[in-house]
Amino acid sequence: MIMKSIKTALIVILGSGLIFIGCAKMPAKLVSPTLKIEPVVKDNKELFKLTLSTGIQNENSDTAFIDMKGLIFFSDAGTHVLTIPFHLPVVLPFDTGIIEAEKTYSESEIMPLVTLFGSDKEKLLNEKVLERSFVDEKNIGFELTGCEKKNILDVLKDKVNEKN
Partner 1 sequence: MKKIDDSRIYLIAAVTTLVVGIVLGAIAFYSILHVEPKVEAFLSAKDTISTNYKRAYLILRDPQVFAGYGYFDVEGVSVKNSLTFFDKRVYNGEEIDANRKAYLELLLDRRKKGSVLTRNTMVFFMVLSMVFWALFIQERRSFKQ
Instruction: Give the interface with partner 1 as residue ranges (CB under 8 A).
Output: 1-2, 5-6, 8-10, 12-13, 22, 61-62, 90, 92-95, 152-153, 155-157, 159-160, 163
SS3 140: strand
Q: Which residues contact 18 (CB under 8 A, 6 or more apart)?
A: none
Helical segments of 19-146, H only:
107-116, 121-127
Residue 44's SS3 state is coil
How near is the Cβ of 86 to partner 1 at its closest, in Å?
20
> Minimum Å distance from CB 84 to partner 1?
26
Nearer to partner 1, 2 or 19 (CB): 2
Nearer to partner 1, 2 or 41 (CB): 2
Measured from the CB of residue 163, what is the shortest distance to partner 1 in angstroms?
Answer: 5
Q: With left for phi above 0 and alpha for psi between -120 and 50, is residue 14 left, alpha or beta?
A: alpha
Return the number of the residue (34 or 61) whose C-beta is nearest partner 1. 61
Residue closer to partner 1 by CB (options 101, 155) is 155
Spatial distance between the Cα atoms of 149 and 62, rounded to a whole number of angstroms: 10
